[in-house]
Structure 1
Amino acid sequence: MTPEVVMDLFANAFLLTVLIVSVIVGPSLVVGLIVSTFQAATQINEQTLSFLPRLIITLATIMVTGGWLITKLTDLFTRLITNIPNIIG
């Protein structure tokens, strides 16, 4: 196995990880920013007001995009497993 193959495998896995994290964390970040702006404008300092909307949005995002994310993940691992003879030999 050459260093180029290892770096290609690592790059594919890393890009998939970044994609999965950004799809899940992105909407939560936007909702957190909106809630923080609302809290700053109204001077309400309630902890659950900032936590609960982010939790709900994160769970909803996982429910909506979960199938697509699992498909991407299984495609990567299927490609890796089927290419084992080519990678090793």
Structure 2
Amino acid sequence: MSKEELLGRLRRIEGQIRGVQTMIKEQRDCEEILTQIMAARAALEQVAVVLVNEYLGECINHLETQADRDKLLRTISLFLKRW
């Protein structure tokens, strides 16, 4: 996925979050707000998956030292802990 495609996804997510802010200001139904929050969260998680997949692919092709491998493992571990 290109950088522009990722940025487009992030702009859509940003729009969703702005929509949630508006919904809260307008005191919309809690269920509607939570639905939008869950949708934004799922979209952000998908961006994270794409970034990790691309990062891993790039890193695997360029691993030269143990330090590089350790850095990659730390990144994977951090991602999985927070996922």
TM-score for both structures, normalised by structure 1: 0.42
Q: Mark the structure with the bigger radius of gyration.
A: 1
Of structures 1 and 2, the one scoring higher in RCO (CA 8 A, sep 6+) is 1
TM-score, length-normalised on structure 2? Answer: 0.44
